[in-house]
């Protein structure tokens, strides 16, 4: 349908400037808002934001939990390597008896 022949759903005295891609209704310039490169009416925009935000927040939380797990795994690996290196040192170095042997 031709846009120029349509009227705004809210302001009937105004000509339509855009059609909301979600509810398929016509609106004037004041009644639409750009959201992610689409012109949406206020009610559809509200629904989109309300639906998108928790999903994004959940995704961010999930990513953060994975990052924390990786971080703790890295820290564990570092200290595990330190422990293994300490175990490689012979006992006579730990108790200093190698120095006595050197003196003899």
Which residues in this chain contact other proteins in the complex, by CB under 8 A? 64, 67-68, 70-72, 74-76, 78-80, 82-84, 86-87, 89, 93-97, 99-100
Which residue, 49 or 99, is less far from other proteins as judged by CB? Answer: 99
d(CA 102, CA 94): 15
**Closer of 13 and 103 to other proteins (Cβ):** 103
For the bound state, the minimum distance from the C-beta of residue 37 to other proteins, rounded and expressed in Å, comes to 22
* Number of Cβ atoms within 10 Å of the Cβ of 6: 17
For residues 29 and 67, which CB has a smaller minimum distance to other proteins in the complex? 67
Reading the block at residue 28, the tokens are 């004037």
Under DSSP, is residue 10 helix (H, G, I), strand (E, B) or coil? coil
What is the rounded CA–CA span in Å between residue 58 and residue 26? Answer: 34
Is the CB of residue 11 less than 8 Å from the CB of residue 28? yes
In whole angstroms, the minimum distance from the beta carbon of 33 to other proteins comes to: 24
Query: Look-up: residue for tokens 């971080």?
Result: 71
* Closer residue to other proteins in complex, CB, 52/72: 72
């Amino acid at each position: 349908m031709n846009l120029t022949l349509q009227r705004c759903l809210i302001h009937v005295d105004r000509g339509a400037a855009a059609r909301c891609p979600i509810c398929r209704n016509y609106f004037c310039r004041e009644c639409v808002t750009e959201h992610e490169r689409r012109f949406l009416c206020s009610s559809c925009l509200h629904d989109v934001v309300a639906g998108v935000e928790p999903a994004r927040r959940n995704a961010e939380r999930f990513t953060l939990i994975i990052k924390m797990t990786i971080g703790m795994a890295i820290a564990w690996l570092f200290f595990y390597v330190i422990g293994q290196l300490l175990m490689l040192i012979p006992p006579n170095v730990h108790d200093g008896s190698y120095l006595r042997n050197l003196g003899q």
